[in-house]
Structure 1
Amino acid sequence: MSCDAVAFSAMLWLASTASAAPVDQAPAIVQPGQAPPSVAGEPLFAEIVKRAGALKTRVEGYREALPKDPAAAAAPLPGFAAFKAEIEALSALDMKGHVTLKQRGAVDDLKCILRGISQDLPEKLTAMADAKTVKTQDQALRDMVYLLNDNVEVITAPPQPAA
């Protein structure tokens, strides 16, 4: 057995035999500060949620319409040029959301997440366009669904205090 396997086994054994912390004990890490106000109701962020949700539904439709043979050549996606323009517009809105929060002096993760999504959307779009087989196309579409879903959830989730 390798050293890594022995160390992992020891860690599992120690974790399973350790006593649990008392129920009335305070958590070891307390996050200071207050949660920032929610931005979900603001027009810019509501528009991001609306567009991301609609695009997610569209991508799910693309996935459902794919041929069943994963080895088949990738199928052309109907209305892809318009879809591409909408993804690019959403990416720009996400960056605008990032800049807006940064200008406000926001210290929570939302501003960074919006920037990341803004940068990831074009990459996922390229993967969709470059897919050669149904299998790779389905994976690219699945990745786009997850990203668009994250775009909705990060804005609509209750804000958390800065870490």
Structure 2
Amino acid sequence: MPCAALAASTLLWMAAGPAPARPETPVPAPATALEPLFADIVARAQGLKGQAETLRQTKAVASEAFKTEIADLAALNMVGQQRVRDRGNDGDLACILRGIAEDLPVKLAALQLASEPADRDLALRELIYLLNDNVEVIIAPPGPSAGPAPGGAI
């Protein structure tokens, strides 16, 4: 067998085999979550989520302090959105933070307007879900980048 034919068949044989295993590298928490502003947002959202869960269980009325804290959290999310947007490094996070900032007062208003127990429960569940999202979007590691794969392959 000529050397070129042997080399070609060897290359084909090697290409057909399994790829060598690559060690999985752990994905670190995003640096954004460690910044004081974003750590404060996470802590406040977690605290408010706990308060909202208590309101739901006890069927208590939301206090003025709770309402003020929701408004403050919405304002902090807007500051965080602006900070991320100004950096230009994570458009998705900026959009999500802005959406949360805009939705928090809406969810609070729905809670305040709910007169029936089922409506109140739904409003609290939606508020709890939004507060949980506020935490997770900041502490979650970044996902795979969008766009074409390296080397131009799609």
> Shorter-chain TM-score: what band?
0.7 to 0.9
Matched residue, 2:149: none
Query: Does residue 1:137 correspond to 2:120, yes or no?
Result: yes
Match of 1:112 among 72, 92, 95: 95
Tell me, in whole angstroms, the C-alpha distance in 1 between the residues paired with 2:40 and 2:31: 15
Q: Could you tell me whether the CA contact under 8 Å between 2:111 and 2:124 is conserved in 1?
A: yes
1:3-62 deviations in whole A, cap 9, x for unaligned?
xxxxxxxxxxxxxxxxxxxxx79xxxxxxxxx9953000000000000000000000000
Normalised by the size of structure 1, how large is the TM-score? 0.69
Query: Does residue 1:41 correspond to 2:24, yes or no?
Result: no
Bigger helix fraction:
2
Superposition map of 1:1-163 within 5 A: 37-66=30-59, 77-78=61-62, 80-163=63-146
Q: Could you tell me whether the CA contact under 8 Å between 1:87 and 1:122 is conserved in 2?
A: yes
- The structure having more radius of gyration, on CA atoms, is 2
Secondary structure of the structure 2 residue equivalent to 1:44: helix
Which runs of 5 or more structure 1 residues have no equivalent in the other structure?
1-23, 26-34, 67-75
Tell me, in whole angstroms, the C-alpha distance in 2 between the residues paired with 1:161 and 1:151: 20
Aligned length, in residue pairs: 121
Aligned CA RMSD, in angstroms, stands at: 2.0
Identity, in percent, stands at 50
Which runs of 5 or more structure 2 residues have no equivalent in the other structure?
1-17, 20-27, 147-154
Tell me, in whole angstroms, the C-alpha distance in 2 between the residues paired with 1:91 and 1:153: 16
Tell me, in whole angstroms, the C-alpha distance in 1 between the residues paired with 2:34 and 2:40: 9
1:99-137 deviations in whole A, cap 9, x for unaligned?
000111123411110000000000000000000111100
Q: Which amino acid in the other structure matches residue 155 of structure 1?
A: I
Q: Could you tell me whether the CA contact under 8 Å between 1:48 and 1:152 is conserved in 2?
A: yes
> With CA pairs under 8 Å and 6+ residues apart, which has the higher RCO, 1 or 2?
1
**C-alpha deviation, 1:161, in angstroms:** 4.4
Normalised by the size of structure 2, how large is the TM-score? 0.73
**C-alpha deviation, 1:77, in angstroms:** 0.6
Q: Could you tell me whether the CA contact under 8 Å between 1:108 and 1:162 is conserved in 2?
A: no
Secondary structure of the structure 2 residue equivalent to 1:39: helix
Tell me, in whole angstroms, the C-alpha distance in 2 between the residues paired with 1:155 and 1:108: 13
Tell me, in whole angstroms, the C-alpha distance in 2 between the residues paired with 1:53 and 1:121: 14
